[in-house]
């Protein structure tokens, strides 16, 4: 299925088309190269949509026939890529929608968008989505500048839009100097963290340090590091409540395959806070994509919880981030996550957008979904946000 962009390309240039492709639609050398090129030049880095992560996710976590790839481009070139699930009931709305597909380990909905895509490319994409015969489209957790382009494209086609949710996710933009702790924590809190760090170091036999187990690791060493993380996560509360990756075969297969691919590209850090004795006090997996770092997973040894190993790891990670020259570290955490919010003072505004693909049922579904979203937000505001398992001094 494809639709030609309704505005011609510059004279002599190739025209762009929008299409909904089967997952293997880019499984050839030309398509693979175009995908890698778009990942590298995308306006917002999103490693969850790179081939190294998305292909294992589709293989292990998607139902057969569930997902197609929305693309805009020309032969040998991609300017937009977004996995789409069609014929979905979502947002407690009875009218079926096509939805930007995500899974439980996918933390950013922003499509891979070329800097030059603009309103014209999104207009072609929306026309292609209309051919899916779904009444409306939901684009989840997307950077606000991309949302504005989709809204403009929809308006040019006479399609209604509504912002269902807006989330301010804790992130940190690069400072001129490594003063992140000083900016975010009081002198009293920093003193307390120095104290618990000494206690943690004593309990681990001294030599407390943060190391990247993926840096220069052989294949067996990388496997051992990933297994160590899975064991640490499973030993904590996630293992107790059944949410640990190690206890879910499909998620485990996805996790290992994606991490191997990222490590092979030099885009995975397996950060480990450890001393001379015992196992790791805390571990974090960080995805590196250009100038952006995303904290993918974190786990800590709960026997050291009183010494705040997770918080100490976060602090060490910020120093590593500064030394790396990267410009953004994204926590991938919920907006109200206490530990992430305490240490990361900037916000990344992510919007969930609904677009009517038809004038009647689609517009009605968008209005209904907005009402449901407002009700859900009101309920959330009355709930406590503090997690009793938070790692803090």
Same-domain pairing of 246 and 114: no
- CA 203-205-209 angle, to 5 degrees, is 95
The answer to whether residue 338 is domain-embedded is: no
Total structural domains in the chain? 2
- 313 φ/ψ sector (left φ>0, alpha ψ -120 to 50, else beta): alpha
Q: Does 253 reside within a domain?
A: yes
3-state secondary structure of 250: helix
The CATH number of the domain where 306 resides is what?
Answer: 3.40.630
Q: Looking at residue 105, what is its pLDDT?
A: 97
Average pLDDT, the chain: 90
Residue 362, pLDDT score: 76
Q: Which long-range contacts (CB under 8 A, 24 or more apart) does 321-325 make?
A: 321/172, 321/174, 321/293, 322/174, 322/175, 322/177, 322/178, 322/180, 323/178, 324/288, 324/293, 325/291
Question: 202 is in which domain, residue-wise?
Answer: 175-326
Same domain? For 157 and 226 the reply is no
Residues 202 and 104 in one domain: no
Q: What is the CATH number of the domain that holds 116?
A: 3.40.630.30
Q: Is residue 383 part of a domain?
A: no
202 and 285 together in one domain: yes
d(CA 264, CA 372) in angstroms, rounded, equals 43
Do the domain assignments include residue 261?
yes
Same domain, 256 and 123: no
Q: Is residue 185 part of a domain?
A: yes
**384 located within any domain:** no
In a domain, 341, yes or no: no
Residues 157 and 194 in one domain: no
Shared-domain flag, residues 7 and 151: yes
**154 three-class SS:** helix
Same domain as 229, residue 150: no
What is the Cα–Cα distance from 205 to 43, expressed in whole angstroms?
A: 46
Q: Are residues 246 and 367 in the same domain?
A: no
Same domain, 58 and 154: yes
Contacts of 378 (CB under 8 A, 6+ apart): none
Does a structural domain hold residue 220? yes
* Same domain (yes/no): 263, 122: no
Task: Report d(CA 266, CA 279) in Å as an integer.
Answer: 25
Same domain assignment for residues 156 and 54: yes
> Over the chain (393 residues), what is each successive 10-residue block's mean pLDDT?
40 68 93 96 97 98 95 95 90 84 97 94 95 91 97 95 95 96 94 96 96 97 98 93 94 98 97 96 97 96 94 95 96 92 95 89 77 62 50 39
């Amino acid at each position: 299925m494809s639709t030609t962009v309704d505005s011609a390309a510059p004279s002599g240039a190739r025209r762009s088309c929008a299409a909904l492709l089967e997952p293997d639609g880019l499984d050839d050398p030309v398509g693979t190269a175009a995908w890698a090129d778009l990942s590298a030049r995308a306006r917002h880095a999103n490693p969850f949509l790179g081939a190294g992560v998305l292909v294992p996710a589709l293989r292990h976590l998607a139902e057969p026939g569930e997902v197609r790839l929305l693309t805009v481009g020309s032969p040998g070139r991609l300017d937009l890529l977004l996995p789409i699930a069609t014929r979905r009931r979502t947002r407690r709305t009875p009218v079926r929608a096509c939805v930007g597909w995500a899974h439980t380990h996918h933390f950013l909905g922003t499509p891979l968008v070329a800097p030059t895509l603009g309103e014209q490319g999104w207009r072609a994409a929306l026309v292609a989505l209309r051919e899916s015969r779904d009444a409306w489209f939901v684009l989840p957790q997307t950077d606000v500048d991309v949302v504005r382009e989709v809204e403009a494209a929809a308006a040019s086609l006479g399609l209604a839009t509504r912002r269902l949710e807006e989330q301010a996710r804790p992130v940190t933009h690069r400072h001129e100097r490594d003063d992140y702790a000083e900016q975010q924590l009081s002198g009293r809190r920093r003193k307390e963290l120095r104290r618990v760090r000494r206690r943690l170091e004593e309990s681990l036999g001294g030599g407390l340090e943060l190391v990247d187990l993926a840096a220069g690791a052989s294949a067996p060493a990388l496997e051992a590091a990933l297994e160590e993380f899975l064991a640490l996560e499973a030993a904590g509360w996630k293992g107790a409540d059944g949410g640990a990756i190690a206890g879910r075969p499909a998620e485990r297969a996805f996790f290992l395959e994606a991490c191997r691919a990222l490590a092979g590209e030099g885009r995975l850090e397996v950060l480990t806070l450890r001393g001379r004795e015992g196992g790791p006090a805390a571990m974090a997996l960080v995805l590196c994509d250009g100038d952006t770092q995303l904290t993918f997973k974190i786990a800590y040894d709960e026997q050291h919880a009183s010494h705040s190993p997770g918080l100490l790891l976060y602090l060490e990670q910020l120093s590593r981030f500064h030394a790396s020259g990267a410009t953004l570290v994204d926590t991938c955490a919920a907006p109200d996550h206490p530990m992430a919010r305490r240490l990361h003072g900037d916000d990344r505004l992510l919007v969930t957008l609904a677009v009517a693909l038809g004038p009647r049922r689609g517009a009605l579904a968008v209005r209904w979904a907005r009402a449901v979203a407002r009700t859900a937000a009101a309920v959330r505001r009355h709930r406590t946000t503090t997690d009793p398992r938070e790692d803090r001094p």
